[in-house]
Amino acid sequence: MLCVLVAVGYAFRGEAGRALEAVRDRTSKTEQMHAVKVTASSAGKQHPATLAVDGTTDKYWTPALPGAAEGEYLEAAFAEPVRLLDLVVHPGSSPTAEKFLTQARPSSLLITVTSKDGRTTVRTVRLADVPGGQRFHLAVSDAVRVRLTVQGVYGGRADRYLAFAEVEFFRRR
């Protein structure tokens, strides 16, 4: 009987570990953390990638060229592996509605989180076409890098640039 209990416990150890992490995620406080390095597939002269993580929403990153932005990406790296719980994306060029609508905004993102051992966790998220932060729960252990790849845009035109006002990262404290 003891052997059966040990075998069952061994078989479900992964599930038990995931369940414990989920409980810790929901009961722990989160804290914002900052990327130590940020890069992009391209960047406009006045709108480098660093503006997407500068702590403000009145400046923004854009790719180098206007028009279709599918495939453009923004990537952030952290100083050490973290339990990454949430990501907040502030799409557009401003939190003010009138300015928000002057540039293209991401409608769909492919989020790729890379862990310290090289494993990747991939999620597709859909953003609402409204100013302000939009929170996405990720819950990935040992995250060292996050890439946001644009899959679709709102308001895309040949004379508009895709704009990201800010990206924020939250870890478990």
**pLDDT digit string (tens) for 89-132?**
999 999 999 999 999 999 999 999 999 999 999 999 999 999 99
* Tens-digit pLDDT profile for residues 30-77: 899 999 999 999 999 999 999 999 999 999 999 999 987 999 999 999
CA–CA separation, 63 vs 73, rounded Å? 8
The pTM assigned to this predicted structure is 0.85
Residue 124 and residue 134: Cα distance in Å, rounded?
Answer: 14
The encoded tokens of residue 23 equal: 């409980």
3-state secondary structure of 21: helix
DSSP letter string over 54-93? SS-SSS-B--SSSS--TT-EEEEEEEEEEEEEEEEEEESS
- Of 83, 68, 77, give the one whose Cα is nearest residue 25: 83
Distance of alpha carbon 32 from alpha carbon 101, whole angstroms: 28
CATH topology of domain 30-172: Jelly Rolls (2.60.120)
